[in-house]
Amino acid sequence: MRELDELQQDALGEIFNIGVGRAAGALSQIVHSEIELSVPQVELVPINQVRSTLSGGEFLHFSSVSQSFSGPFDAEAVLIFPEANALVIVSHMLGTHLSPEELSEYEQEAMCEVGNIILNACISVLADLFHVEFNGGLPKHRFSDRDGLGFESDYDAEFVLLLKVSMKINQANVVGHLLFLLGVQSLEALFDCLEKYLIEQGLR
Amino acid sequence: MSEALLDHLEVGVVLLDAQQRIQLWNTWLVRHAGIEESTARNALLSDVFPEVRDSRLQRAIDAALTQRMASLLSPGLNAPLLRLYQRPVDRRVDLRMRQLIHIVPLKGAEGCLIQITDVTASARREDQLRTQSTELRDRTYRDTLTGIGNRRKFDETINMEFRRALRGNTVLSLLMIDIDHFKAYNDSFGHPAGDVCLKMVAKALADGLRDSGDQIARYGGEEFAVVLPATDGAGACLVAERLRTQVEAALATDRHRPVTISVGVGTMHPGAGSTADSLISGADMALYQAKADGRNRVAYFNLDDGNLATLA
């Protein structure tokens, strides 16, 4: 199985931190208050290990926004938050207090937009720094329980680039994950892009 | 054929070329923007809709054209941007329709497609439901006379804070407060005067709380309760004494007669087997002690070591 070496891990960490930094700027403008985003951790895991890595035992319900990207490598990008954390985000963004039962289409669209902003920003930075172009699809939102995360069956992917995302919004700290689901070929293409980037940066 | 189809859609469809010039403008847009297709065609989107400049929609269009990224603008996070109106009369008062906007880059060609959906009806319903649910929640937990939390609110608060203290192994304190000689006050001056007195005491108490999560409720009749999370006996006594002097000062010039309160402080580290009721009983016992020692004073009961004392 391919693994990320230290240099690759650091480079991806930096790249995605630039991405979520841009997204934080855009989100802050929408809510007129400071939102901070960071990616403290990047790892590459086989798809069948994602569920155990994600859930950490304590969360049962998840809210996710997914978007597909195609280009030098194809990926399904998924931003996923434990449902309680997603509610914190939407409540702060919309300025209302909500329970999961009250979350309607209206809030799901808002969650879609938040995810769309974060995912687009990350892919744009990848495209800029790797000098490549992607096509991005529209975001889809869904709720699922832990058993229904279903990454293995829903997508034809074998590896997941798994990023921890930390969001700070009005004093509240919210943690979620950003996943890039990759097939074998796409993973190789990602490694190629990353190697070229490291050489260009004089790091290899 | 396809142009005719577009004109029957109940959504607005705009096609922009790479220079952001309008290549397609369907009948829905003619109707709701009040701009003819012949005027719109080949014009810049920002000339037809000047409000697009520097907006999030403009950035989304740029992202679609230069980076081939699709975007969505939801009605929840964006004020109605485009000058689109459900009815001509709405235009006069600039009552714009609520909009859900999708921006998608074209496949295999330069340019992007913008779709606008009118979500006014559902957004308005959402707003109403949200207002109603907020009001309902408010009414369910608020004491109608004094405006502070009611007994239901107190029951939920004390149980929640008790569990939190148990989980975090932290201390929890509770104040039980009673207005001195309130029955006599009511009997002498009448119930309307009693109600005014209750309101003034509630206000003086609420004003004396800390910002750090102290929660006040009307427990019943002339009794109030204050939950003090993560506050030890000494801290709780400070708060209690401040509340006592504040009520004394605020109601010293009551138009009927001076009004004072007695306060019982209960404090404990919730442990296995203990319940919120133990803390309530402890605070009640202290309140009884404060009354027995002459009223207008604070008494304290520590359930951890059984220490009961009245503050000088």
Interior CA angle at B196 toward B190 and B197, to 5°? Answer: 85
CATH code for position B92: 3.30.450.20
When the pLDDT of each residue in chain B is averaged and rounded to a whole number, the result is 92
Strand A172-182 to strand A159-169: parallel, antiparallel, or no bridges (unpaired)? antiparallel
Domain ranges, residue B70: 2-124
Question: What gap in Å lies between CA B182 and CA B66, rounded to an integer?
Answer: 74
B252 to chain A nearest CA, in Å?
Answer: 40
Q: Which chain A residue has its CA at the smallest distance from B120's CA?
A: A106
Cα A93 from chain centre: 18
pTM: 0.71
For B194, phi then psi, to 5°, come to -60, -40
Side-chain-facing half-sphere of B277: CA atoms under 13 Å: 1
Rg of chain B on CA atoms, in Å: 32
Judge whether B130 lies within some domain: no
Interior CA angle at A122 toward A170 and A182, to 5°? Answer: 125
Residues B180 and B86 in one domain: no
Give yes or no for residue A153 having a pLDDT over 70: no
What order of strands is seen across the sheet that includes strand B223-229? B215-220, B223-229, B172-179, B261-268, B298-302, B307-310
Nearest to A113 among B63, B68, B77 (CB): B77
Give B310's strand partners. B299
CATH code for position B290: 3.30.70.270
Please identify which of the residues B222, B223, B241, B248 carries the catalytic annotation: B222
Determine whether the interchain pair B63/A124 forms a contact, defined as Cβ–Cβ distance below 8 Å. Answer: yes
User: Are residues B301 and B282 in contact, defined by beta-carbon separation less than 8 angstroms?
Assistant: yes
Judge whether B224 lies within some domain: yes
Domain end marker among B124, B156, B191: B124
Residues B87 and B157 in one domain: no
User: Are residues A161 and A12 in contact, defined by beta-carbon separation less than 8 angstroms?
Assistant: yes
Total of domains in chain B = 2
Q: Show the domains of chain A with their CATH numbers.
A: 6-200 (3.40.1550.10)
Side-chain-facing half-sphere of A33: CA atoms under 13 Å: 11
pLDDT in tens, B244-277: 999 999 998 877 889 999 999 999 999 878 899 9
Residues of chain B that touch chain A, judged by Cβ-Cβ distance less than 8 Å: 56, 59, 63, 67-78, 100, 102, 104-105, 107, 122-123, 126, 129-130, 133-134
Give yes or no for residue B146 having a pLDDT over 90: yes
Determine whether the interchain pair A94/B76 forms a contact, defined as Cβ–Cβ distance below 8 Å. Answer: yes
Question: What gap in Å lies between CA B57 and CA B78, rounded to an integer?
Answer: 10
B216 to chain A nearest CA, in Å?
Answer: 21
Nearest to A135 among B105, B126, B134 (CB): B105
Query: Is B10 considered catalytic here?
Result: no
Residues B47 and B186 in one domain: no
Residues B155 and B291 in one domain: yes
Residue scoring higher pLDDT (A105 or B309): B309
Q: Which chain A residue has its CA at the smallest distance from B73's CA?
A: A113
Determine whether the interchain pair A96/B130 forms a contact, defined as Cβ–Cβ distance below 8 Å. Answer: yes
pLDDT at residue number A103: 65
User: Measured between beta carbons, which residues in chain B are less than 8 angstroms from residue A133?
Assistant: 67-68
Residues B236 and B181 in one domain: yes
pLDDT in tens, B168-226: 889 999 999 999 999 999 999 999 999 999 999 999 999 988 877 889 999 999 999 99
Give yes or no for residue A58 having a pLDDT over 90: no
Nearest to B75 among A26, A109, A127 (CB): A109
Judge whether B278 lies within some domain: yes
Give yes or no for residue A152 having a pLDDT over 70: no
Residues B120 and B197 in one domain: no
User: Measured between beta carbons, which residues in chain A are less than 8 angstroms from residue B70?
Assistant: 67, 116, 120, 136-139
What secondary structure, in 3-state letters, does B53-67 show?
CCCHHHHHHHHHHHH
User: Measured between beta carbons, which residues in chain A are less than 8 angstroms from residue B55?
Assistant: none
Determine whether the interchain pair B75/A106 forms a contact, defined as Cβ–Cβ distance below 8 Å. Answer: yes
Beta-carbon contacts of B110 under 8 Å, excluding residues fewer than 6 positions away, are B17, B18, B65
Nearest to B72 among A127, A133, A139 (CB): A139
ipTM of the complex: 0.89
Residues B301 and B188 in one domain: yes
As given in the structure block, the two tokens for residue B260 are: 């004072």
B134 to chain A nearest CA, in Å?
Answer: 8
Residues B249 and B117 in one domain: no
- Top mean-pLDDT range of A90-99, A165-174, B229-238: B229-238
